[in-house]
């Protein structure tokens, strides 16, 4: 049995004109230790897809259909209490903007320790000790001293490391990283991606990485799913999809990604590529 099997996932939102389909007939599977990159433009439905799996999209107002089996548990059919027992323990998530995800009124060490107190019942002292070890594991220098700091006292890259420590402290089976490097400069991006890869290798966890950047997904994930307007256009082994893309939208994304071209070569915009293809099917 797959660790996670998503079948015919559909998410609709009521709007004045009727229903807006944010995610339409999504299917993918994750085996233990897999790394899947979900890539696409902003607004393609990537974040809605994974947020729905964790119960972060409420129903109602959303209308959610399909099946999302995590082992033998359908995440879409879980009660809020059941989801809370899974979320942050067996499945963890790193969000795009750590400054808005971290509580500005709570010291960093207590935010990292919180999952251990909620899920494992550890005392505050025990949880804090493990939180400091987690900070050291993600490369935060002088962790014992910095643990007492507030989120605004950390740089963007260090805040993202705090988020990773928080997500990893309960040793999840599956980590979902939603655009974890978007707000960071190129050097820090590389450090954070290397850290995620290293942690996955050490722990054997599975990974879903959400990104708008094909080069980021190519550097981290063995599998890829390309999304557009709520649907998966193409999916498969990352190396094969990028080497021999079958869908014109995938070819369009490749044509306008500077990281995948020789320095000095002219890039085709996605709009130009779509026009040259005569539209996308």
DSSP conformation letters of 179-197: STTTTS-HHHHHHHHHHHH
Residue 186 clears pLDDT 90, i.e. is over it = no
Give the helix ranges, DSSP H, for the chain: 46-53, 80-86, 98-101, 108-119, 124-137, 143-146, 156-168, 186-203, 214-220, 238-243, 248-255, 270-277
What is this structure's pTM? 0.89
Distance of alpha carbon 222 from alpha carbon 238, whole angstroms = 5
Q: What is the predicted pLDDT for the residue at 215?
A: 86
pLDDT digits (tens, 9 = 90+) for 218-252: 999 999 999 999 999 999 999 999 999 988 888 88
Q: What is the predicted pLDDT for the residue at 274?
A: 61
> 129 with 265, same domain?
no
Last residue of a domain, one of 141, 169, 197: 169
Burial 8-35 (b: 16+ CB within 10 A, else e): ebbbbeeeeeeeebbbeebebebeeebb
Domain count, the chain: 3
> Taking all residues of the chain, what is their mean pLDDT, rounded to a whole number?
88
Burial 50-65 (b: 16+ CB within 10 A, else e): bbbbbbebeeeebebe
pLDDT class for 270, splitting at 50, 70, 90?
low
Mean pLDDT of 116-125: 90
> 238 with 250, same domain?
no
38 assigned to some structural domain: yes
> 101 with 148, same domain?
yes
Its domain, for residue 211, covers: 1-79+185-243
**45, 12 in Cβ contact below 8 A?**
no
> 45 with 97, same domain?
no
255 assigned to some structural domain: yes
> 66 with 201, same domain?
yes
We report the CATH number of the domain holding residue 233 as 3.40.50.300
> 107 with 43, same domain?
no
> 204 with 68, same domain?
yes
Q: What is the predicted pLDDT for the residue at 275?
A: 60
Mean pLDDT of 117-124: 89
> 73 with 1, same domain?
yes
> 162 with 108, same domain?
yes
Q: Name the residue with higher pLDDT: 114 or 60.
A: 114
pLDDT digits (tens, 9 = 90+) for 146-183: 999 999 999 888 998 999 999 999 989 999 999 888 77
pLDDT digits (tens, 9 = 90+) for 2-38: 799 999 999 999 998 889 999 999 999 999 999 999 9
pLDDT class for 214, splitting at 50, 70, 90?
confident
The residue count of the chain comes to 281
**214, 254 in Cβ contact below 8 A?**
yes
Q: State what percent of residues in the chain have pLDDT above 90.
A: 59
């Amino acid at each position: 049995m797959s660790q996670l099997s998503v079948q015919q996932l559909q998410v609709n939102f009521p709007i004045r004109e009727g229903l807006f389909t944010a995610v339409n007939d999504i299917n993918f599977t994750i085996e233990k230790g897999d790394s899947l990159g979900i890539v696409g433009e902003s607004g393609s439905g990537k974040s809605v897809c994974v947020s729905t799996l964790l119960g972060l999209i409420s129903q109602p107002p959303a209308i959610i259909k399909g099946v999302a089996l995590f082992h033998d548990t359908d995440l879409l059919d879980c009660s809020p209490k059941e989801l809370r027992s899974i979320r942050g323990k067996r499945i963890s998530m790193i969000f795009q903007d750590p400054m808005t995800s971290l509580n500005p009124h709570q010291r960093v060490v207590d935010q990292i320790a919180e999952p251990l107190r909620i899920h494992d019942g550890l005392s505050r002292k025990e949880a804090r000790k493990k939180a400091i070890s987690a900070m050291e594991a993600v490369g935060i220098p002088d962790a014992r001293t910095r643990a007492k700091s507030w989120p605004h006292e950390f740089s963007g890259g260090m805040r993202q490391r705090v988020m990773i420590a928080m997500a990893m402290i309960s040793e999840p089976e599956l980590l979902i990283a939603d655009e974890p490097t978007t707000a960071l400069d190129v050097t820090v991006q590389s450090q954070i991606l290397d850290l995620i890869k290293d942690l996955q290798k050490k722990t054997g966890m599975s990974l879903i990485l959400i990104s708008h950047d094909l080069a980021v997904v190519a550097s981290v994930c063995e599998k890829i799913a390309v999304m557009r307007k709520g649907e998966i256009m193409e999916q498969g082994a990352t190396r094969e999809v990028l080497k021999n893309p079958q869908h014109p939208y995938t070819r369009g994304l490749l044509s306008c990604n500077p990281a995948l071209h020789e320095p000095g070569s002219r890039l085709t915009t996605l709009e130009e590529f779509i026009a040259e293809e005569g539209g996308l099917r």
